[in-house]
Structure 1
Amino acid sequence: MSAQKAIEKVTVLINPLSGHGNGPTAGRKAVARLRERGVAVTEIIGTDADHARKLAQRAVEGGTDALVVVGGDGAISIALQAAAQSGTPVGLIPAGTGNDHAREFGIPVGDPVAAADVIVDGEVQESDLARITLDDGSIVWAGTIIASGFDSLCTDRANRMSWPKGPMRYNLAMLIELTRLKPLRYTVELDDQKVKVDATLVAVGNARSYGGGMQICPNADKTDGLLDVTVVEHGRRSRLIRLFPRVYKGTHVDLPDVQTYRSRKVRLQCEGITAYADGDRVGPLPVTIEAVPSALHILSHEPA
């Protein structure tokens, strides 16, 4: 925990598309509550992700007491790019469909007024972040899971589809990818070993869950300076289908075809595979991922 000055002025970043358009409603309630509590609020809404990132960066550089995000994990990802290693606290008003960051830090979901109270009454906690370096040298910060393999192939396909709309598009993409399931030849470089494996997916976790509570890295600790790695070895479709329900409880790691590792630094290589972090596209493998201790300061009621 770090020393905290009073929260007197905040910048609120609102994602209007979060939670199927619920972002603005949650934002209005949170902003009204913050002002009611005597906090000066500056609202920013980017025209797109790049614009929002620039506005958030400007707010951090301008000395805002906190950068508050109204939205889901994608919106929080924008804030992480601006606030990582800056010392500026991040506040969360969950308004997305997944809200894995909020769950990780004990932020009330579905109650923007209560979440706003955490920003005023909570304490600044320190948390690790994952720093992803692509082969072109660009850097992306992540708070929860870096996903690759079957789940990223499903997302790639869903992003190429124009029908159906909503969650069913991803479900259809998953069914299509299941029919095309094949082993993915991964090289996973850890601090003390190199693993070559035919895998279905490899997930690297700074935190435990992605996709709205799927605990793909159930033992990850966001304050231990290490990354958790979950490798699902290639198997038959029926085995993969049986595995998925167990991911919500984190018991899939007990299966014989699931291997787990812990490492400060991880390099993933697999031809033709894209990495996603906090639900957003990062770029093609190979990528190098490092745990950076205390890179995030976040307003929370619960110790990080």
Structure 2
Amino acid sequence: MTKSVSVLTNPTAGGGSAPSAAAAAIARLRERGVTVTEIEGRDADEALELARKCVDAGTDALVVVGGDGMVSIAWQALAETGTPLGIIPGGTGNDHARLFHIPVDDPVAAADIVVDGQIATIDLARAGDRWFGTVLSSGFDALATDRANRMGWPQGPMRYYIAMLVELAQLKPIPYRITLDDRTIELEATMVTVGNGTSYGGGMLITPNAKLDDGLLDITVVGSSGRFKLVRLFPTVYKGTHVELDEVQTFRTRKLRLEASIPGRSVHSVRDAPVTSYADGEFVGQLPIEVEAVPGAGRVIVSEPLQ
């Protein structure tokens, strides 16, 4: 049984619903006899600093209330420390919670898992110096995220949908160079994703066969698809059946190097523009980037053994 935890909250997660989820979860933890230390950073940097201090002080677990962005902060503090992660879902996507079979709409039940659950040791992925648990994206989806982040209106998911439509209208194939453990591939693709876990974007199973304990990364490459094919592909991603389509290739590797640029896409000139990448929904950097699987780097509190 977990006896003392540090609870890290993002007050803006889930459209501002995280505080109510945190209050319910913290009340339940204390009702169950758990000593709770509450922490809340004013920004991501302060949240990470506070999380690291709690880990260094020997907390039994770092529990985050929020979405995948908060879990991403937690991984930066927890990776390779042995301290486990607990999750109280309170965000929009909640892909980590889905990955670990934690109820996304019941903070009390999620708190009970923190108290009664078992600790699973999992692989994490590292892109440069940044850890992630689910998926790293580049290409069309990252471009849509870039555009959505620059838009002041509308708020919520609609902003991303509009950004996707704009990017779809400008869709062009991107020349990639992908260096895997055993080969180098050069091709034109719409998007390339790297999965430690199976899903991103609130349940899109982009790397549906990824395993959390195999020491490998799953790569999904969507080829040089036209707009119609890309629109047709999106519904299949929620079932993970897109990997059966002719325009999709999959690979497995322990390490990879991803290189790409978009011809003539620079904002200020006709020069090639960089391709950005996001992991766990958070900005990582511009390509080229190197990614590796790190076996056993993470520990997480779950209700049942992971399959």
Q: Which of the five TM-score ranges fits, normalised by the shorter chain?
A: over 0.9
Superposition misfits of 4+ residues, deviation over 6 angstroms = none
C-alpha distance in structure 2 between counterparts of 1:142 and 1:302, whole Å? 22
Aligned to 1:287: 289
Q: Secondary structure at the match of 1:241?
A: helix
Secondary structure of 1:195's partner? strand
Shift of 1:300: 0.4
Secondary structure at the aligned position of 1:230 is classed as: strand
* Structure-2 residue corresponding to 1:230: 220
Aligned to 1:67: 62
> Where do residues 269-280 of structure 1 align in structure 2 (5 Å cutoff)?
269-271=259-261, 272-280=274-282
Report the residue type matching 2:198 in the other structure: R
Paired with 1:163 and 1:124, the residues of 2 have a C-alpha distance of: 41
Aligned match of 1:299:
301
Aligned residue number for residue 192 of structure 1? 182
Task: Tell me the equivalent position of 1:82.
Answer: 77
Alignment match, 1:45? 40
Does residue 178 of structure 1 match 2:168?
Answer: yes
How far apart are the structure 2 equivalents of 1:64 and 1:187? 43
| Equivalent residue letter for 1:229 | I
For 1:159, the equivalent position in structure 2 comes to 149
TM-score (norm 1): 0.96
Distance in 2, matches of 1:214 and 1:147, equals: 12
Provide the C-alpha distance between the structure 2 equivalents of 1:252 and 1:125, rounded to a whole number of angstroms: 29
C-alpha deviation, 1:109, in angstroms = 1.3
**Identical pairs, percent:** 60
Corresponding letter in the other structure for 2:63: V
Aligned to 1:270, the other structure's residue is in SS state strand
Distance in 2 between the 1:243 and 1:12 partners? 39
Q: Distance in 2 between matches of 1:105 and 1:165?
A: 28
User: Helix, strand or coil: the match of 1:60?
Assistant: helix
* Structure 2: distance between partners of 1:266 and 1:302: 32
Structure 1 residue 122 and structure 2 residue 124: aligned? no
TM-score (norm 2): 0.95
Letter of the 1:287 counterpart:
I
Q: Tell me the matched-pair count.
A: 294
Distance in 2 (alpha carbons) for counterparts of 1:144 and 1:66: 20
For 2:244, the equivalent position in structure 1 comes to: 254
Counterpart residue type for residue 291 of structure 1 = A
1:206 paired residue number: 196
Q: For the residues of structure 2 that align with 1:140 and 1:108, how far apart are their CA atoms?
A: 27
Q: Which amino acid is the alignment partner of residue 292 of structure 1?
A: V
Q: How far apart, in 1, do the equivalents of 2:161 and 2:302 lie?
A: 34
Following superposition, the deviation at residue 302 of structure 1 comes to 2.1
Write the letter of the residue equivalent to 2:117.
G
In structure 1, how many angstroms separate the alpha carbons of the residues matched to 2:155 and 2:120? 38
Aligned-partner Cα distance in 2 for 1:165–1:13? 24
How far is 1:301 from its partner? 1.2
Aligned match for 1:148, one of 138, 144, 150:
138
Paired letter, 1:152: A
Shift of 1:266: 1.2
Please, which runs of 5 or more residues in structure 1 have no aligned partner? 1-5, 134-138
Q: Deviations over 1:106-161 (max 9, x none)?
A: 1111100100000110011101000111xxxxx00000000000000000011111
Once residues 113 and 154 of structure 2 are traced to their aligned partners in structure 1, the CA distance between those partners, rounded to angstroms, is 38
Q: CA deviation at 1:166?
A: 1.5
Q: Which amino acid aligns with 1:20?
A: G
Amino acid across the alignment from 2:97: A
